[in-house]
Chains A and B, each alone.
Chain A
């Protein structure tokens, strides 16, 4: 299928974003699932769907936060009970997504992950994701 024309045109890959860069996604408590096979809580596949507003999935780049001397907790402000999942740019690109820098006035690390996200892709992201900030017990 490949990268969609819309993503290639409007949300092109950030060429300076290396494959190992960690992309952080806030996960709401309703999206925590216990996986007996993994013997741990992980995000539901539902946590990696695009919203219906047409915008690609939002994430935050760890390398930008760290380069600014910040801590990942800054993207959690006002979101009590949420956890923070991490995928690498290389992982999402494997699933034909672009990783597009989209700094916001309030959060310079904001980035968009653009591409078709069938449920199989969302399930794969959910199983690959690691916790940068795990759910609180």
Chain B
């Protein structure tokens, strides 16, 4: 269950689109069952055209996630960001074997990708934790499969395959951004 964090004088909920429209600022605090000692701070500013920055901070037993956007984020993006934030509370061994907690840097990268690449009409992805602390964004539609693998901020790749033609891509994101955009448009039926 996602809780909210007080920012200034107002409590903002991550899914409250109206507030986001006014302030373009969103934050969430959730119990940090891991009690991780490190304080994780600011990502670089202007990380993408859509986002100014994503900040993940540790406050005692809680963790806050602040997303500063240059424009209102769509409900699909917000819902997906909530799913990413939710993963940050996974304890070690969350898969019943030896999975690691999700890396904050991977979460930040996932949020940036969601804000940058999900357009109106893009179906929401499944937001999936990986056993090594990364995140996968997955779409399995009737027409195509797309999986984006965020192993670390510098290690992002994707696999996509079209059902009918069997056409596929299995490449690093860097240098293949236009391919990813094209696959996402196919998922949207464009």
Contact = CB atoms under 8 A, between A and B. Distances in A.
A30 interface: yes
Interface residues of B, number: 26
Interface stretch (A7-15, A41-49, A85-93): A41-49
Contacts of B170: 119-120
B89 to A, nearest CB: 11
Contact of B97 (A44, A46, A58): A58
A90 B145 CA distance: 26
Interface in A1-59: 26, 28, 30-31, 33-38, 44-47, 49-53, 55, 58
Contacts, number: 69
B130 A36 contact: no
A85 to B, nearest CB: 12
A49 to B, nearest CB: 5
B21 interface: no
A119 B171 CA distance: 12
Contact of B96 (A28, A35, A52): A28
Contact of B126 (A28, A37, A44, A79): A44
Contacts of A36: 140-142
B17 interface: no
Interface string B84-110: 000100100011111110000000000
A64 to B, nearest CB: 19
A79 B95 CA distance: 9
Contact of A31 (B95, B132, B145): B95
A27 to B, nearest CB: 8
A49 B147 contact: no
B125 to A, nearest CB: 10
Interface in A62-82: 79, 82
A119 B96 contact: no
B138 interface: yes
Interface string B19-58: 0000000000000000000000000000000000000000
B167 to A, nearest CB: 15
B129 A37 contact: no
Nearest to A75: B96
A33 B98 contact: no
A123 interface: yes
B163 interface: yes
B128 A37 contact: no
Interface string A79-106: 1001000000000000000000000000
B128 A123 contact: no
A29 B99 CA distance: 14
B141 A46 contact: no
Given A28-B95, A45-B147, A37 B132 contact: no
Given A33-B138, A46-B130, 4 more contacts: A28-B96, A30-B129, A36-B142, A44-B136
8 contacts: A26-B97, A33-B138, A34-B126, A37-B163, A46-B136, A49-B132, A51-B131, A123-B147
Name the 4 nearest CB pairs between A and B, nearest first: A51-B98, A35-B140, A53-B98, A36-B142
